[in-house]
């Protein structure tokens, strides 16, 4: 099981990938959304906001109420996703990553992840 610091660092690495996306491409596919990431084995919830400028800093939260996109992933899988040892598609298909979002949000996120 990863630690709080390792989970936060993994989220920051994943968020950093958005800076590699062409700003015009990002603007085409991103609308402002609140995103939560629940890490059940650490009993933590991180929240952030995605917008055309990228992602805000992740903050710890008591709950994911109001998040328009909700992710659930164990800490070790989160680290593996950040280290490119596990693909988002494979993690989602195998149930290791759960995503709750509207179909439109899923399609937009798929374009940039």
pLDDT in tens, the chain (113 residues): 999 999 999 999 988 877 777 777 777 767 888 999 999 999 999 999 988 777 788 999 999 888 999 999 999 999 999 999 999 889 999 999 999 999 988 877 765 55
Domains parsed from the chain with CATH numbers: 4-107 (3.30.1050.10)
The confidence score (pLDDT) of residue 105 equals 83
Are 37 and 46 spatial neighbours (Cβ–Cβ below 8 Å)?
yes
The confidence score (pLDDT) of residue 51 equals 81
Count the Cβ atoms, other than its own, within 10 Å of residue 58.
19
If DSSP codes are grouped into helix, strand and coil, which group holds residue 57? coil
Are 78 and 37 spatial neighbours (Cβ–Cβ below 8 Å)?
yes
Are 38 and 58 spatial neighbours (Cβ–Cβ below 8 Å)?
no
pTM of the predicted structure, to 2 decimals: 0.86
The confidence score (pLDDT) of residue 42 equals 97
Helix (H) or strand (E) run with residue 76 in it: helix 75-82
The confidence score (pLDDT) of residue 112 equals 58
């Amino acid at each position: 099981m990863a630690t709080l610091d390792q989970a936060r660092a993994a989220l920051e690495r994943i968020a950093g990938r958005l800076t590699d996306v062409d700003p015009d491409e990002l603007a085409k596919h991103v609308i402002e959304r609140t995103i939560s990431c629940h890490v059940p084995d650490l009993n933590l919830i991180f929240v952030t906001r995605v917008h055309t400028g990228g992602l805000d800093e992740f903050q710890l939260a008591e709950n994911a109420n109001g998040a328009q996109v909700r992710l659930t992933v164990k800490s070790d899988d989160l680290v593996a996703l950040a280290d490119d040892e596990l693909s988002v598609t494979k993690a989602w298909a195998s149930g290791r990553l759960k995503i709750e979002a509207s179909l439109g949000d899923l399609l937009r996120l798929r374009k940039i992840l």
